[in-house]
Amino acid sequence: MDSQSGKSTEESGLIKGYDGGKQVKGRKRHLLVDTMGLLLSTDVTPANTSDQEGARLLLAGLKPLVPRLELVRADGAYRGEALATWCDTTGGWRLEIITRHSPVEGFVVRPCGWIVERTLGVDGPAAPPKQGLRAPGTAE
């Protein structure tokens, strides 16, 4: 599970916000993928939505659709006892936070973290710099 903030165009509808951490005005997309990188769930929110709130929106109602889901891996932005408890009570899911294990300088691949990053990177550098989505419903 991960999220990505992106700029949106002036005509892109009502879903807009400002992500102060990334200095981006626009939208945030939240993704849940399986171990092969295939999408299980996606949600688009204003950029000022916290990752923990986005996780709740992303996972809400998912239990009947993906009954075999037991473990949700996420990065450090999702840490906290409140979200872990919510995941356990809502779907019986165990929330595992993937963090860096050692203070190594430079780029280090996180175990299993590259799977969702690869899915987020499908837009790649060839994609336009703004998500020119005119209607919020077309973003999903």
β-pairing, 71-74 vs 24-33, is unpaired
Asked if residues 2 and 110 have their Cβ atoms less than 8 Å apart, the reply is no
Full pLDDT tens readout for the chain, 140 residues: 888 777 766 655 666 776 667 677 778 888 888 888 788 888 888 888 888 999 999 999 899 999 999 999 888 888 989 999 999 999 999 999 887 666 767 766 666 655 666 566 655 444 444 444 444 555 44
Res 9: pLDDT: 63
Asked if residues 94 and 72 have their Cβ atoms less than 8 Å apart, the reply is yes
Q: What are the structural domains of the chain?
A: 2-123 (3.30.420)
Res 31: pLDDT: 87
